[in-house]
Structure 1
Amino acid sequence: MSSDTARITPLLKDSTSITMGTEITIVIPVYNRAHTLGRTLRSIEGQKVSPARVILVDNNSTDDSWETMQRWSNHMKECGHDVMLFKERKTGACAARNRGLREVETSFVMFFDSDDEMLPDHVADFSEAIRKNPTCDIFGRSIECEEADGKRRKLYFTAKSPMFNHLFRGCLSTQRMVIRTELVRQTGGWDETLPAWNDYELGVRLLLATDRIMDIGGKTTVVTHHLADSITGTSYSSRHEHWEKSLDRVEKHFINIGRKDLARLTDARRMVLASQYRSEGDTCEENQMRKNAIHQAARLYAEVIDKTDSPWKMKAVYLHNRLFKRLTWALARIIFPLG
């Protein structure tokens, strides 16, 4: 039993959250997160307004995750809260999320990760925004990201130019949004063929289906922890095929609806990714990993240049990111105006 798991039972005795009307269900996929799951569950229990239901889906964990989920579920049920546990044998967070989605009965759903935490006002703030704006389909808010070294940075959500900002800034990442349940179902749910950046791809489908999106503003109420064993991890070049598969899928969505302007943006996003590969090559100490990062950067760069009708713009995006490492979205906003 992990130390985090061992601490969960005594902390559960002092639950002070309020059960009141809310249209939000929380769905959490879990895979070998006994070392972080206690933190996530305690943060849900500490909400000033409790969610209507919490759905935990174990995805073939081999550690103590299932036992942690059971203990927490039993306690919460004793306190009158609605918690459901499931096991999903099909591998992948998307399959686990879709399993949980099938059990959602509320109008809105919040997909959360088992290594992140929400501050006490999180559910309350989104519930109030939904109450005041019942016709909106997507509600979002900026979050804090804590890196492995303990440093934090803000990851922004914005409802302005949502497609552009999502493509370049990932505004509709899992932890930043609450979505109308029927919208997720109508757009096909989570794509179980994508091993990573699946919320990136889902966000594109959501934005192609609705423009009723709202930034609820206010202080950040989620801290996401960037861990080496998370889905995103800490290296891009070592799993290049994962990110690029999602970008390919997004580009296909745009081509299918005749939006060449948006498809062009996916090439610009590939150039940012190529720059990230190359930056990893600059800093990697292990020789083979360094060579692979440099190779993947050169390959992806060449692929974009060979296919694009705007080679100088693509080169500008790449060079900007190589030089400054950030704010490349601002340059892209200028040189790639949307029609």
Structure 2
Amino acid sequence: MGKALVARAGEGKSYTVGFEYLPLEAWPAGEVAIRVAHSGLNYKDALAITGRAPIIRSFPMVLGIDLAGEVVESASPRFKVGDKVMVNGWGLSETRWGAYAERVRMPESVVQALPAGFSTEQAMQIGTAGYTAMLCVMALTDHGLQPGRDAVLVTGASGGVGSVAVSLLARAGFHVIAVSGRAEQEGYLRALGAAEVIGREAISAGGRPMAKERWAGVIDVAGGAMLADAIAQTRYDGIVAACGMAGGGALTTTVYPFILRGVTLRGVDSVMVPMARREAAWARLDAELDRDLLARLSVTRDFVDLPQLGLDLLEGRLQGRVAVRL
């Protein structure tokens, strides 16, 4: 029996979210049972907890898209009792029962070994947000961007994805331009390594599909008008890695930046990434992420705090990464 945060269908499209105790036998079939030590709080988690977006596809649903813990039962040749493992993405909290539970059961295909250099707490301080940030960095470096030469714009820089992206890029030697809608975040972002901190209005292209070339790469979590502005000012043969839509899903631009400047718009998904690339991203995080910096940009809170934390995240009262102690 383990405590879990569960969403149950209400009337119409509404649903309720509350803590329940679930026996392991109640879980869908899976080869690996895990005692969860830590989870994390991501933007998608906050939407599911608060009901502000239709994240959940079926009910009842155990919420949470990230977990790290220890194997307690295994019918898999890949994992044995006592192994430290983690799961993130793969439809958790959408179509598959998720991470916010003290005991879970998962198919072996979605479980991966915890990188040796991380504790379960550190892995969940990184979580899907930090792992997504690394996937974006990989997209930029795979394209050919080089530290010491290229400037990279990061939108939503004080959030979970943005904070980790700023720190990874700056440590690698890129000139990082951090965008934040909150002026009070400048000190925090410069401590992460941002060379410039600018407001949202400073990247406006005035509605033009092409404007002065200002950066070689972009990591964008906003979508909408901000993404269009970022594309308009990306240099020739640059790349824009788009991984979010906090500012909206519409994109109003033209083909001009893509044809006349050869700009690449690269969508970055974190949910269904093949295991090999997923493991490569976590290996790079293990090698490149400053642990002291991770501690400074993260906090760890208790399981019982989750409902309030989801609301706080959506209303802009949190910065950096939040791990959850189960």
* Interval containing the TM-score (normalised by the shorter chain): under 0.3
Scaled by the length of structure 1, the TM-score of the pair is 0.25
Higher relative contact order (CA 8 A, sep 6+): 2
Higher normalized strand content (fraction of residues):
2
TM-score (ref. length: structure 2): 0.26
| Greater helix share, structure number | 1
